[in-house]
Structure 1
Amino acid sequence: MSHRFERPRTASFFGGVVPASEEEETLANDVGRELAAAGFVLQHGGYNGLMEAAAGGASAAGGEVVAVTLADVDWGEFNPYVSRVIRVQKMGDRLHQFLDDADVVVAMGGGVGTLHEITAAFWYSGNVRPVPVWLVGQTAMRLAAFLRSERWLFESPTRSLGFLSEVSDSTELRQALSDLTSDLDTNTPVTMTRQMEGD
């Protein structure tokens, strides 16, 4: 017998361990809180800095916080808000975990690891599946401006950037989230079919 069920809505959060400012750390907390309040599971790297700020906001709103990491690499202790850990073998597997079932990717400032995640999300959303990618805060928005000015990021007849949005503050975040949830609510729910042993 087959059982159909909806998977939980998932937001993947990319952000660095050293916040660019107190304002961006507060904004990351707002991101986590707003996503969790809207019913999204937050998946992130699981560590400190902006990741911890977002996780703290999600936890305060009663949300699930998932850390996605490599099985054989020790990057330190997870932040105290992590409620579940997914360990994968390869970096490519980690990126697929973040992107394959995500309903939205939220990216803020960070180091080269965050840059790697952001550019992977750009490529994935432009070539595989148009996952909404939100660049949140001034640091991420400056990155987008640089990538556009240097022609690392551009639109072409076969590669739309319609998946990409820039969100400067909490007010714009709430509006973007309202628009996204409205869009998800009006589309056919994503379902999976599970074969239950013995049914």
Structure 2
Amino acid sequence: MSANIRTATFFGGVVPSSETELHLAYGIGCGLGSAGFVVQHGGYNGLMEQAARGAAERGGEVVAVSLAGMAWGEFNPYVGASVHLATMGERLHRFLDGADVVIAMGGGVGTLHELTAALWYAGNIRPVPVWLCGPTALRLAAFLRAERWLFETPTRPLSFLTEIADLPTFTSTLTALNSVSTARSVR
């Protein structure tokens, strides 16, 4: 991806936990598309499809990132391009290395795998912003904190992590990220 193109990685499941989360995923996609982000995700249905629909309706590009040789079904109709990689490691690096923000909602074990990879990456490699969005992701964060799977130390700050309950909070957080990005590009 070009240095001028901002990329948002979206992790969300194919079986949404509620209509509320479907609407939130769509609103997230709308915000990202309007802000000019390329949205990359697995390319399938459920929350991914709603985020893709929102992004595409606002002029954003949607890229599916999948594994070569896997027959997981057709991509959703809002995917404009796809990348098929040989290994899960390559797939995760594609999602994380160039991302300007990682957004995670609820999902199954695949989404959990992607999210935990993003949390480790942001805490150890590069502090890419990781936004946990919606009730399911917030319940997971509370559980991880309570069970001490997720905690902050002086050498492993969690300043990259933001918990977002609803669309107005997402919108204001995205506006703040855009302001920081704009200020950096002006320098």
Distance 1:7 1:45 in 2: 23
Query: 1:188: Cα distance to partner?
Result: 4.5
1:147 equivalent to 2:147? Answer no
11, 14, 34: which one pairs with 1:17?
14
Which runs of structure 1 show a deviation greater than 6 angstroms over 4 or more consecutive aligned residues?
Answer: none
Q: Secondary structure at the match of 1:110?
A: coil
Distance 2:141 2:13 in 1: 16
Name the aligned partner's letter for residue 91 of structure 2.
R
Q: Please, what TM-score do these two structures have when normalized by structure 2?
A: 0.97
Distance 2:3 2:23 in 1: 32
The equivalent of 1:196 in structure 2 is none
1:127 equivalent to 2:124? Answer yes
Matched-pair identity in %: 63
Distance 1:62 1:40 in 2: 9
- Cα displacement string for residues 81-135 of structure 1 (whole angstroms, at most 9, x for unaligned residues): 0000011000000000000000000000000000000000000000000000000
The equivalent of 2:164 in structure 1 is 167
Unaligned ranges ≥5, structure 2: none
Query: 1:177: Cα distance to partner?
Result: 0.2
Distance 1:158 1:66 in 2: 34
Larger radius of gyration: 1
1:43 equivalent to 2:40? Answer yes
1:136 equivalent to 2:133? Answer yes
Distance 1:67 1:49 in 2: 14
Query: 1:7: Cα distance to partner?
Result: 3.3
Q: Please, what TM-score do these two structures have when normalized by structure 1?
A: 0.91
The equivalent of 1:176 in structure 2 is 173
Distance 2:34 2:76 in 1: 20
Higher relative contact order (CA 8 A, sep 6+): 1
For the aligned residues, what is the CA RMSD?
A: 1.0
Distance 2:184 2:59 in 1: 26
The equivalent of 1:55 in structure 2 is 52
Distance 1:187 1:153 in 2: 30
Higher helix fraction: Structure 1 or Structure 2? 2
Distance 2:166 2:185 in 1: 30
- Cα displacement string for residues 42-79 of structure 1 (whole angstroms, at most 9, x for unaligned residues): 00000000000100000110110000000111110100
Bigger Cα displacement from structure 2, 103-112 vs 179-188: 179-188
Distance 1:8 1:85 in 2: 17
Query: 1:6: Cα distance to partner?
Result: 3.2
The equivalent of 1:197 in structure 2 is none
59, 64, 82: which one pairs with 2:61?
64
The equivalent of 1:32 in structure 2 is 29
